[in-house]
C-alpha cells in the first residue's frame, strides 16, 4: 500500500530552476554549507524526473554547480518533504497495477506538475480498466481493449 506520513508535506509548482524548492543550509563536503534547489522536469515522451542542484560556496556570489537528474518515471512524479524535512520524490511507472496506480494518484496527484497530469490520469484510468476486465489466470491480452478505450476516452474536468 502506498502511504505518506501524516507529517510529510507535498510540494507543488517547482518545475524549473527559477521556481525550484530551495534549501538554504545544505552540507557541502565536511565543513562548508551551500544552497540546494530541487525541481521536477516533464518531458512529453520520456516522463518526469527530479533535478537537484547545489551552489558552490567556494565561488564568489551565488554560482550554481551542474544539476543532477534522476531517472525518468514514465507517467508522473511528485516531490514532498518527509518527516525529517528532506526533499523526496515518488514516481508513477508502468509496473504498478490498477489499485496501486489509484492509491498513488490519490496521494500524490495534487503535487504532480500540470504538464504531467493528463498522462497520469489516462494511465491510471487504463490500468484500472485493465484490472477490472481480468480474472485470475486470464491471459495477459484480456482487458487490453478496455484499457485502450479508457486511455483515449475524454477526461472529466
Q: Which residues of the chain form beta strands (DSSP E)?
A: 9-11, 21-28, 32-43, 47-54, 68-69, 76-81, 87-92
pLDDT given at position 153: 85
pLDDT given at position 2: 64
Max Cα distance, the chain (Å): 64
How much is the average pLDDT of 79-85?
A: 92
pLDDT given at position 134: 87
pLDDT given at position 3: 64
Confidence of residue 140 (pLDDT cuts 50, 70, 90): confident
What's the chain's average pLDDT? 91
pLDDT given at position 26: 94
pLDDT given at position 141: 85
User: Quick one: DSSP state of residue 13?
Assistant: S
Residue 74, pLDDT above cutoff 60: yes
What contacts 150, CB < 8 A, 6 or more positions away?
A: 122, 125, 126, 128, 129, 130
Lowest mean pLDDT, pick from 3-7, 35-39, 132-136, 151-155: 3-7
Amino acid at each position: 500500500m502506498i502511504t505518506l506520513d501524516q507529517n510529510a508535506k507535498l510540494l507543488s509548482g517547482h518545475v524549473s530552476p527559477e521556481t525550484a524548492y530551495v534549501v538554504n543550509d545544505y552540507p557541502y563536503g565536511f565543513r562548508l554549507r551551500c544552497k540546494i534547489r530541487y525541481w521536477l522536469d516533464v518531458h512529453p515522451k520520456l516522463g518526469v524526473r527530479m533535478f537537484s542542484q547545489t551552489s558552490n560556496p567556494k565561488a564568489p556570489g551565488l554560482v550554481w554547480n551542474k544539476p543532477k537528474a534522476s531517472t525518468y518515471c514514465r507517467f508522473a512524479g511528485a516531490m514532498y518533504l518527509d518527516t525529517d524535512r528532506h526533499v523526496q520524490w515518488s514516481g508513477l511507472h508502468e509496473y504498478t497495477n490498477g489499485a496501486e496506480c489509484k492509491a498513488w494518484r490519490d496521494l500524490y496527484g495534487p503535487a504532480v506538475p500540470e504538464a504531467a497530469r493528463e498522462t497520469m490520469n489516462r494511465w491510471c484510468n487504463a490500468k484500472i480498466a485493465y484490472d477490472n476486465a481480468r480474472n485470475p489466470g486470464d491471459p495477459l491480452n484480456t482487458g487490453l481493449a478496455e484499457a485502450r478505450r479508457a486511455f483515449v476516452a475524454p477526461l472529466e474536468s
